[in-house]
Amino acid sequence: MEILHSDALVLFGVTGDLARKQIFPALYAMVKRGELKVSVIGVASPKWTEEQLRGRLRDSIEESGKDGASGIDDPAALDDLLGRMRYVSGNYQDSATYTSIKQALGEAQRPAFYLAIPPALFETVIRGLGEAGLAKDGRVIVEKPFGRDLESAVELNREAHEAFPEDAIFRIDHFLGKEAIMNILYYRFANSFLEPIWNRNYVASVQITMAEDFGVKNRGAFYETAGCLRDVVENHLFQIVALLAMEAPATRNYGAVQAEKAKVFEAIRPLRPEDVVRGQYEGYRAEKDVPAHSDVETYCALRLYIDSWRWADVPWILRSGKYLKATATEVLVELKPAPQRLFEDSAPLGGRANYLRFRLSPDASIALATRVKSVGKEFVGEQRELFLCEELVGQEAPYERLLAAAMAGDGALFTRQDAVEAAWAVVDPVLKNHGPAHSYPRGSWGPKEAEALLGPGGSWHNPKAREPNGCS
């Protein structure tokens, strides 16, 4: 069956920060590449004129330039985009708003509805679209988080399916649109040398770190409703786990890839309180809109086990946090030591065995650590990295890629219902049943209590702010 392209884009929350910082620049880039040729209807509650909306869009593009330069490098493309913009002001709970949207759509039959709005309004808008008859042949694009726990995710899925079929629901995790994240899938299954060792027989552990050297940045009110576990671990880091742990799909189509990712989440043991360490950076309670006795975590580390034939008993250690020592995201897959200590220094004594390292941000690279003999008569050596720097010049920004894919009906970079619910089932037991958040100094690597997750002799791999091998 032919998949038809969306013939209009309706952007709820068009006056918000997400639209200004991410979506407007993405739309501009899509117009420049000839990928956006439909009308864009912005919807929000402020009583703006269309001129005000166009001014907001123009300001957004100017601000998106790097190093202080204007981001408007193609005035004709900007004029094209401005000419496609329409604005509907209204309350999301008012049926008249959806009548106005229908009028603004004109003859469009297959609109895509992007919900760049607070999650508490998802069900309201989806219900409004369904009751107004706008969902027929349309698509809905929903920002994370998709639910706050398993119960709310199931309810949101139920509500979404009242209006849209599953293949018309596009759950965005912008992490999946990043070039370095997509490369994990490619690297694993485009190369044959990795498969023989990519299992419990050779892999000792997997560490995933997503660190930020800044705080909540005046988003205390939001963070109080989310916390680190909900904000990035259950979605961003879990998606990395799925790409690393999944079996090879039979084909590269949407269904096959999503099915294998869902199997990973279904195989992860539900977390116990002893599998999780929560932290809060010093001074968080003094942030704007944060209560004086807040126990919300700005740092979360956890230990996962995937009960599958491939990964049985291999610990997966995940952590993320604000105000850590560097801003970087890395994966370290540590291999088991050689079975025989033929050379005195061949087995790690307080050091690491061979490993594979994926650096995902801010730069991208792949490194394989291997021992090599030092010059001389003695059989001694050192561990060095075989290093590949990923040149990502000209890459599409995540929102460009994801918006274009959703409007084309390509769900490969989005999350499916069964995977969403399986991921929530893993973390649901510890969302409320957990220990207190431990205080940690700004600029550190988090609370010392997290070291207990590593087991005897284990140590954290701490990414550098910049790739030490010169990748930029």
CATH number of the domain residue 246 falls in: 3.30.360.10
> What is the spatial distance between Cα 245 and Cα 239, in angstroms, rounded to a whole number?
10
Residue 390 has pLDDT above 80, yes or no: no
Is there a contact between 326 and 211 (Cβ–Cβ < 8 Å)? Answer: yes
Once rounded to an integer, what is the mean pLDDT over residues 42-55?
A: 95
Q: Assess contact for 356 and 330: CB atoms under 8 A.
A: no
- Asked whether residue 124 falls in the same domain as residue 182, the answer is no
pLDDT band at 350 (very low <50, low <70, confident <90, very high): low
* Residue 438 predicted with pLDDT over 90: yes
Residue 241 sits in the same domain as residue 98: no
Domain holding 279, by residue range, is 176-394+416-454
Residues 134 and 246 in one domain: no
Do 114 and 200 lie in one domain? The reply is no
Whether the CB-CB separation of 422 and 415 falls below 8 Å is answered with: no
pLDDT band for position 385 (cuts 50, 70, 90)? confident
Count of domains observed in the chain? 2
Amino acid at 323: Y
91 and 198 share a domain? Answer: no
Q: How far is CA 122 from CA 12, 40, 98, 358, in A?
A: 10, 20, 15, 35
Say if 207 falls within a structural domain.
yes
Could you tell me if 262 and 193 lie in one domain? yes
| Same domain as 292, residue 219 | yes
Residues 207 and 68 placed together within one structural domain of the fold: no
Mean pLDDT on 96-118:
96
Q: Are residues 137 and 205 in the same domain?
A: no
Specify the pLDDT at position 428.
Answer: 97
Catalytic residue among 5, 161, 174, 236: 236
pTM for the full predicted model: 0.91
> Is residue 434 flagged as an active site residue?
no
Selected residue with higher pLDDT from 469 and 157: 157
Mean pLDDT of 145-157: 93
User: 70 in a domain, yes or no?
Assistant: yes
Query: What average pLDDT does range 303-327 have in this prediction?
Result: 98
The answer to whether position 470 is within a domain reads no
Pairing of β 111-115 and β 85-89: unpaired
Query: pLDDT tens digits, residue range 206-243?
Result: 999 999 999 999 889 989 999 999 999 999 999 999 99
d(CA 21, CA 468): 30
| pLDDT of 75 strictly over 60 | yes
Nearest to residue 15, comparing CAs of 122, 117, 112?
A: 117
213 and 78 together in one domain: no
Q: In this predicted structure, what is the pLDDT of residue 348?
A: 62
CA distance 58 to 130: 32
Asked which of 89-103, 120-134, 239-253, 277-291 is least confident by mean pLDDT, the reply is: 239-253
Q: Does a structural domain hold residue 180?
A: yes
CA 295 to CA 106: how far, in whole Å? Answer: 50
Question: What span, in angstroms and rounded, lies between the C-alpha atoms of 444 and 426?
Answer: 28
